């Protein structure tokens, strides 16, 4: 008993100081099968020291050319090298330190003296030759990364420390120094090992040793920080075609999916904790901020578009709503599917009902069209060769595709046919049975295209409890563009929703409130149990005036935590932009300037940093410095309409009229569909008595489906000033029809009677 007491004391001491990482080899002693499954998995191969066992690429003096740059891959004994252009544009021989990934591609990493580890943009296609593999290729063939640019392999966007490391190694500590712009990154294990998913294992090892000595079989408080619930069985009952859980699966499902989400999601990190996963409740959102169904990341119907890494699509699915989790389909240690082909789906979907032509309408057994995943999990290609399946598991809707310009599974296979052809085929199969409306697709598409009914559709979607939380949160966030009483009421109602993702969306919506009116609604969420919600509330209250002492102390405490969360990403250009914005909101202009300059140190061509720094210089009366930034922005981004537009505005302020007209014209020509650019250019022309040209541009910019107040107002007043009263009246009447509550529009119309 004395020995047991000492062991308990040791366990408490370790817990009070935090558990330590012990390594996968220690885990293998008790968990041999799991360890064996893990070896050779994608997690095991996530990163390795470059060696003959780990390097798959051809380093036998192989050459690859892209954009005029020839990279040559060589080997000397067990050392691997590439001769290619460095950041200075000079060819140099670089040592390959690590392999990165395994299949369908493998990248290679190179270390630098400042602690940076950079990923080559030339990768090895590790697929079999018969599939087009066993070759060097350019990951992003359209990237224009010149030496010294952020998109060059030596630049910010191919930096392993900031963009890859935390999800490819275990127990990683980035250790970035903003002062020296350098890294001292360390890890407990180079790849994704046991403790990446289960947390540091020293306490668990102590617990296991204590259990062995005491003879107890208790599993409560087993010393692991990350706990997973017990899996439940899914059974297809007699007379049914879809499995039901034997027990409540949701708690275990949430714990597991949130654990995986730490790496398998499109998110930003807001915690310094080296543990990647914090399952259960709001644990994930205590350490990460999830990207919702934003345009250019997801199609309007929620299908994946850019790389979003599974979680955001999976939580849209009906399977997730029912309690299905990752390990129902994937072995969590080997990562392999638990069954192959349609047998995987047959575990929950009776094959006599679903694996039949009467369901999938493809008569040839085993054909591509008869495979469940090809209809319900269509693949999108990323990184040139990596096909990843959509986990929202939608029903193919070519009829929706026609409306929202999104892909569909039918035409992914029938590429020689139109969406209309696929729609007609499905209608003939269903015997004209009406298909339910896709409320997410309809609503998000309406919002993205500024349809007149968009705000009402967003409100209805946000209030629909039958829709996934991520879609409802997206709808709420989009309400920020519709600042009226109905939007305010809808957002305010969701501030107390039990789902933290929806609370986040509600807070995003309230960004339209004037700063001084936000405290009453938003301040209660400074005490929210979930960190990302507290941070969002804090962001919206930055710079608020007139608080009493107690209120100010409460806000100041949260501001300190919010700024700490922003500094987690201080080594990324966007991270510095967010830090700068927070300082601007608090009136801390010197600190904001430093953050913008740091962003430019990381990415010298960052357009947001250049434009925002120019705006800050102008606000501080440093007009010459502001103009220098704008000229630099245009030189770096000659195809950016915004760069030309902002420069043109500055040139107008500095009375450089001829140059301003040229810049504003460039902006308009680069983005002719942008009504704002057309409007400002037309005003500038009108100010130079070139009114007929201005009217032509304004008329071209008009979109009957999306009335623009400024365009209509200008068309009415310019025609009036030219003595064209009938045209002026026509535009004034259209203005009032589109904006009946606008008092200025009413006065203009009445003055033309």
Integer Cα distance of 613 and 311 in angstroms: 35
Residue 13 has pLDDT above 70, yes or no: no
Report the pLDDT averaged over residues 507-511.
Answer: 98
Residue 9 has pLDDT above 50, yes or no: no
pLDDT of residue 14: 33
- By CB atoms closer than 10 A (0-12, 13-18, 19+), residue 218 is exposed
Tell me the CB-side half-sphere exposure of residue 467, using CA atoms within 13 A.
24
Report the pLDDT averaged over residues 531-537.
Answer: 97
123-127, 147-151, 491-495, 581-585: least confidently modelled range: 147-151
pLDDT of residue 59: 98
pLDDT of residue 365: 77
Report the pLDDT averaged over residues 425-454.
Answer: 90
Residue 228 has pLDDT above 90, yes or no: no
Instruction: Decide: 123 and 105 in contact? Cβ < 8 Å.
Output: yes
Band the pLDDT of 729: cuts 50, 70, 90. very high
Instruction: Decide: 89 and 46 in contact? Cβ < 8 Å.
Output: no
Q: In sequence order, what E strands does 6-104 have?
A: 48-49, 62-66, 69-76, 79-85, 91-96, 98-100
Residue 1 has pLDDT above 90, yes or no: no
Q: Cis before residue 104, ω within 30 degrees of 0?
A: yes
pLDDT of residue 5: 28
Residue 700 has pLDDT above 80, yes or no: yes
pLDDT of residue 282: 58
Integer Cα distance of 315 and 307 in angstroms: 16
Band the pLDDT of 214: cuts 50, 70, 90. low
Encode pLDDT of 556-579 as tens digits.
Answer: 999 999 999 999 999 999 999 999
What share of the chain has pLDDT > 90, as a percent?
86
Tell me the CB-side half-sphere exposure of residue 421, using CA atoms within 13 A.
9
Report the pLDDT averaged over residues 546-554.
Answer: 97
For β-strands 122-125 and 135-138, DSSP reports them as antiparallel
Tell me the CB-side half-sphere exposure of residue 498, using CA atoms within 13 A.
2
End-to-end CA distance of the chain: 101
Integer Cα distance of 500 and 355 in angstroms: 38
Residue 6 has pLDDT above 50, yes or no: no
* H, E, C per residue of 73-86: EEEECCEEEEEEEC
Among residues 127, 136, 119, 128, which one has the least CA distance to residue 62? 136
Residue 150 has pLDDT above 80, yes or no: yes
59 vs 432: which has the higher pLDDT:
59
pLDDT of residue 452: 84
Report the pLDDT averaged over residues 483-502.
Answer: 97
- By CB atoms closer than 10 A (0-12, 13-18, 19+), residue 644 is buried
The position carrying tokens 């999938």 is 360
For the beta carbon of residue 448, count every other beta carbon within 10 angstroms: 17
pLDDT of residue 226: 83
Structure tokens belonging to residue 344: 């995987």
Integer Cα distance of 287 and 199 in angstroms: 14
Report the pLDDT averaged over residues 582-609.
Answer: 97
Residue 728 has pLDDT above 80, yes or no: yes
Encode pLDDT of 29-75 as tens digits.
Answer: 999 999 999 999 999 999 999 999 999 999 999 999 999 999 999 99
Instruction: Decide: 530 and 282 in contact? Cβ < 8 Å.
Output: yes
243 vs 251: which has the higher pLDDT:
243
According to DSSP, residue 127 is labeled S
pLDDT of residue 227: 83
Partners of 689 in beta bridges: none
The position carrying tokens 């191969």 is 45
The angle subtended at Cα 204 by Cα 200 and Cα 210, nearest 5°, is 155
Among residues 205, 207, 209, which one has the least CA distance to residue 194? 205
Integer Cα distance of 441 and 634 in angstroms: 37
Structure tokens belonging to residue 388: 């990843």
pLDDT of residue 10: 25
The position carrying tokens 């200075």 is 88
Instruction: Decide: 128 and 134 in contact? Cβ < 8 Å.
Output: yes
Report the pLDDT averaged over residues 475-490.
Answer: 97
Integer Cα distance of 488 and 549 in angstroms: 28
Integer Cα distance of 149 and 236 in angstroms: 57
pLDDT of residue 110: 98
Band the pLDDT of 3: cuts 50, 70, 90. very low
- By CB atoms closer than 10 A (0-12, 13-18, 19+), residue 331 is middle
Band the pLDDT of 8: cuts 50, 70, 90. very low
- By CB atoms closer than 10 A (0-12, 13-18, 19+), residue 546 is exposed
Residue 4 has pLDDT above 50, yes or no: no
Band the pLDDT of 211: cuts 50, 70, 90. confident
Contacts 24+ apart (CB under 8 A), 416-425: 422/396, 422/398, 423/398, 423/399, 425/361
Q: Which residues contact 59 (CB under 8 A, 6 or more apart)?
A: 73, 74, 75, 80, 81
Q: What is the rounded average pLDDT for all residues in the chain? A: 93
Residue 400 has pLDDT above 60, yes or no: yes
Q: Cis before residue 119, ω within 30 degrees of 0?
A: no
Structure tokens belonging to residue 51: 């060696």
pLDDT of residue 17: 44
Integer Cα distance of 288 and 266 in angstroms: 10
Residue 209 has pLDDT above 90, yes or no: no
Q: Determine which helix (DSSP H) or strand (DSSP E) holds 748, and give its type and residue range.
A: helix 743-751
Integer Cα distance of 618 and 652 in angstroms: 13
């Amino acid at each position: 008993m004395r020995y047991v007491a000492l062991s308990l004391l040791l366990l408490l001491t370790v817990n009070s100081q935090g558990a330590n990482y012990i390594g996968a080899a220690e885990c293998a002693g008790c968990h041999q099968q799991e360890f064996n499954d893990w070896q050779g998995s994608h997690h095991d191969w996530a990163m390795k020291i470059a060696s003959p066992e780990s390097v798959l690429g051809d380093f036998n003096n192989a050459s690859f050319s892209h954009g005029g740059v020839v990279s040559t891959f060589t080997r000397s004994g067990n050392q691997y090298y590439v001769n290619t252009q460095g950041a200075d544009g000079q060819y140099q021989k670089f040592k390959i330190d690590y392999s990165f990934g395994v299949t369908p591609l493998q990248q290679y990493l190179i270390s630098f003296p400042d602690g940076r580890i950079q990923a080559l943009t030339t990768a090895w296609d590790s697929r079999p030759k018969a599939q087009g593999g066993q070759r060097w290729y350019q990951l992003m063939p359209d990237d224009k990364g010149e030496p010294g640019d952020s998109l060059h392999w030596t630049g910010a966007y191919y930096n392993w420390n900031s963009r890859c490391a935390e999800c490819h190694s275990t127990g990683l500590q980035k250790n970035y120094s903003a002062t020296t712009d350098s890294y001292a990154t360390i890890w407990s294990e180079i790849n994704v090992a046991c403790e990446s998913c289960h947390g540091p294992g020293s306490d668990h090892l102590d617990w296991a040793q204590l259990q062995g000595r005491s003879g107890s079989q208790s599993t409560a408080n087993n010393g692991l920080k990350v706990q997973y619930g017990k899996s439940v069985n899914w059974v297809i009952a007699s007379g049914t075609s879809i499995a039901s859980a034997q027990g409540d699966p949701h708690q275990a499902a949430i714990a597991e999916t949130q654990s995986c989400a730490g790496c398998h999601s499109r998110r930003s990190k807001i915690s310094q904790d080296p543990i990647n996963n914090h399952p259960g409740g709001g644990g994930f959102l205590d350490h990460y901020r999830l990207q919702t169904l934003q345009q250019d990341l997801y199609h309007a119907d929620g299908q994946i578009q850019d790389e979003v890494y599974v979680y955001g699509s999976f939580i849209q699915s009906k399977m997730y709503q029912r309690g299905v989790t990752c390990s129902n389909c994937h072995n969590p240690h080997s990562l392999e599917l638990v069954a192959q082909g349609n047998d995987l789906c047959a575990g929950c979907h009776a094959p006599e009902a679903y694996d039949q032509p009467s369901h999938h309408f493809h008569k040839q057994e085993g054909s591509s069209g008869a495979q469940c995943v090809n209809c319900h999990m269509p693949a999108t290609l990323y990184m040139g060769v990596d096909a990843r399946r959509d986990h929202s598991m939608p029903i193919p809707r070519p009829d929706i595709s026609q409306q929202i310009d999104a892909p569909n599974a039918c035409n992914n296979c029938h590429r020689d046919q139109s969406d209309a052809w696929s729609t007609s085929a499905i209608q003939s199969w269903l015997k004209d049975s009406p298909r339910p409306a896709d409320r997410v697709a309809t609503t998000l598409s309406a919002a993205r295209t500024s349809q007149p009914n968009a705000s009402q559709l967003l409100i209805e979607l946000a209030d629909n409890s039958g829709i996934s939380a991520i879609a409802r949160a997206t709808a709420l966030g989009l309400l920020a563009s519709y600042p009226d009483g109905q939007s305010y009421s809808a957002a305010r109602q969701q501030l107390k929703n039990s789902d933290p993702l929806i609370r986040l969306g509600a807070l995003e919506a309230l960004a339209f409130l004037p700063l001084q009116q936000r405290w009453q609604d938003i301040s209660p969420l400074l005490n929210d149990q979930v960190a990302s919600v507290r941070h969002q509330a804090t962001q919206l209250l930055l710079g608020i005036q007139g608080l009493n002492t107690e209120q100010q102390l409460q806000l100041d405490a949260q501001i300190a935590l919010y700024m700490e969360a922003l500094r987690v990403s201080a080594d990324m250009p966007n991270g510095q932009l967010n830090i700068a914005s927070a300082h601007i909101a608090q009136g801390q202009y010197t600190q904001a300037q430093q953050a913008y300059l740091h962003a430019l140190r990381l990415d010298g061509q960052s357009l947001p940093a250049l434009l925002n720094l120019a705006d800050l210089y102008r606000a501080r009366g440093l007009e010459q410095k502001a103009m220098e930034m704008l000229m630099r922005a245009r030189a770096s981004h000659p195809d950016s309409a915004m760069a030309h537009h902002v420069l043109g505005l500055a040139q107008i302020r500095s009375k450089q009229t001829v140059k301003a007209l040229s810049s504003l014209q460039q902006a308009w020509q680069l983005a002719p569909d942008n009504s704002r650019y057309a409007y400002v250019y037309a005003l500038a022309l009108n100010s130079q008595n070139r009114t007929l040209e201005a009217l032509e541009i304004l008329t071209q910019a008009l979109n009957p489906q999306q009335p623009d107040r400024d365009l209509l107002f200008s068309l009415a007043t310019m025609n009036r000033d030219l003595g064209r009263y009938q045209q002026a009246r026509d535009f004034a009447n259209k203005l009032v029809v589109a904006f009946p509550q606008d008092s200025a529009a009413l006065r203009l119309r009445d003055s033309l009677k």
